[in-house]
């Protein structure tokens, strides 16, 4: 970048933190490009999951999470971000243009940035400790600050949401094309992307447990005694007033804000998009849970059992694979 703007080390550090964002199947469907005075985020359509995410909603949400991670990383490093989202209608893969200005980090920004390397997608059972209402209100405020609505699914809404999760899981298990794609993106050991075996537990057979995705070759053990303990999981639903690309991108930013806030509190968290990947199941969630708003993300949060082992980090691609000069990104976008 030009003189007076962040040096290469700062940009590389911030983008390295941005790509720690969660993405569907750890597909990492993003690219960053460095211009003379700005940074740019692009979608990588070659990493779209055609069976899981045929309309690209999960891809947009994943990229939105990386955008929010980038905003927080730069803020903690002393740079305020000014973001133009979807800046060029003629270039749909160009998701954001980011201008940077000198900035004094706040304590909240530093704390959120510190949560980035600690955040994990934890698919294991939660403990019987209840999540304080104040924590949920703080997460809801972080989501609202991104222009998205958070709803805690309780009582009848939780029943309908749990039913939708079970329906989606059942239908996916009987979809050969979906299962082939899922197997291709999971059960990995040394790949820089996809879902590693060491981060996926065996299916939870406890009565009443919510089903999870059937990833290949699960190797993550549950904490000792967790199967016999009540699971005080809280289900959060993020929704938007419309369902266009901008709404989905902002939902991804809100997802990041929610997950990092939960991590600050020490909560375990896991995004659940499976019930929103089947159009008719998603409509049920829209009608029964979000009162007509468009559901974009379900988050499962709670306290990990006291004796649960820390989760290893999931792998990420090398930074030079996702960060390029703007000229190279423009050439790749046109090709």
Mean predicted confidence (pLDDT) in 230-236: 91
136 band by pLDDT with thresholds 50, 70 and 90:
very high
pLDDT digits (tens, 9 = 90+) for 282-326: 999 999 999 999 999 999 999 999 899 999 999 999 999 999 997
- Give the pLDDT score at 230: 75
Listed residue (311, 307, 305) closest to 129, CA to CA:
305
Mean predicted confidence (pLDDT) in 120-142: 97
Interatomic CA distance for residues 29 and 255, integer angstroms: 16
Mean predicted confidence (pLDDT) in 171-180: 97
> How many Cβ atoms from other residues are within 10 Å of residue 132's Cβ?
11
Mean pLDDT (the chain) is 94
Phi and psi torsions of 153, nearest 5° = -80, 110
Entry pTM = 0.95
Mean predicted confidence (pLDDT) in 221-231: 74
Interatomic CA distance for residues 35 and 1, integer angstroms: 6
Q: Is the pLDDT assigned to residue 328 strictly greater than 70?
A: no
- Give the pLDDT score at 326: 79
Q: Is the pLDDT assigned to residue 61 strictly greater than 90?
A: yes
Rg (CA), the chain: 19
5 band by pLDDT with thresholds 50, 70 and 90:
confident
332 band by pLDDT with thresholds 50, 70 and 90:
low
Mean predicted confidence (pLDDT) in 163-172: 97
Listed residue (14, 62, 56, 27) closest to 314, CA to CA:
27
**Collapsed DSSP state (helix, strand, coil) of residue 44:** coil
Query: DSSP readout, 188-218?
Result: ESS-SSSEEGGG-BPP--STTPPP----SS-
**Collapsed DSSP state (helix, strand, coil) of residue 182:** helix
Sequence-separated (6 or more) residues with CB below 8 Å from residue 329: 31, 33, 40, 42
- Give the pLDDT score at 227: 64
- Give the pLDDT score at 216: 95
pLDDT digits (tens, 9 = 90+) for 69-92: 999 999 999 999 999 999 999 999
Q: What percent of the chain has pLDDT over 90?
A: 87
- Give the pLDDT score at 56: 97
- Give the pLDDT score at 158: 97
Q: Is the pLDDT assigned to residue 184 strictly greater than 80?
A: yes
Q: Is the pLDDT assigned to residue 335 strictly greater than 50?
A: no
pLDDT digits (tens, 9 = 90+) for 92-117: 999 999 999 999 999 999 999 999 99
Domains of the chain: 8-118+314-334 (3.40.109.10), 133-302 (3.40.109.10)
């Amino acid at each position: 970048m030009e003189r007076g703007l962040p040096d290469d080390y700062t940009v590389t550090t911030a983008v390295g933190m941005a790509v720690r964002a969660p993405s569907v199947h750890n597909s990492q469907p993003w690219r960053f490009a460095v211009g003379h005075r700005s940074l740019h985020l692009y979608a990588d359509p070659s990493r779209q999951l055609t069976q899981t995410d045929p309309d690209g909603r999960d891809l947009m949400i994943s990229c939105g999470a990386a955008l929010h991670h980038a905003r927080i990383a730069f803020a903690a490093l002393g740079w305020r971000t000014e973001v133009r989202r979807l800046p060029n209608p003629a270039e749909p893969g160009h998701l954001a243009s980011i201008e940077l200005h000198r900035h004094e980090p706040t304590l909240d920004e530093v704390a959120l940035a510190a949560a980035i390397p600690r955040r994990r997608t934890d698919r294991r059972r939660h403990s019987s400790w209840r999540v304080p209402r104040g924590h949920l209100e703080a997460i809801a405020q972080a989501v609202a600050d991104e222009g998205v609505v958070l709803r805690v699914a309780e009582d009848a809404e939780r029943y309908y949401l749990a039913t939708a999760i079970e329906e989606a899981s059942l239908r996916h298990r009987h979809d050969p094309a979906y299962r082939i794609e899922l197997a291709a993106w999971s059960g990995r050991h040394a790949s820089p992307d996809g879902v590693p075996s060491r981060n996926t537990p065996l299916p939870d057979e406890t009565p009443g447990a919510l089903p999870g995705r059937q990833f290949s070759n699960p190797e993550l053990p549950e904490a000792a005694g967790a199967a016999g303990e009540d699971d005080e999981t809280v289900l959060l639903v993020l929704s938007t007033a419309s369902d266009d690309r901008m709404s989905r991108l902002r939902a991804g930013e809100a997802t990041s804000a929610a997950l990092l806030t939960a991590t600050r509190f020490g909560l375990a968290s896991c995004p659940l998009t499976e019930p929103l990947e089947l159009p008719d199941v998603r409509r049920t969630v829209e009608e029964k849970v979000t009162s007509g708003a468009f559901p974009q993300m379900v988050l499962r949060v709670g306290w990990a059992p006291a004796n649960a082992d820390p989760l290893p980090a999931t792998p990420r691609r090398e930074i030079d694979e996702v960060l390029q000069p703007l000229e190279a990104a423009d050439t790749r976008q046109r090709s």
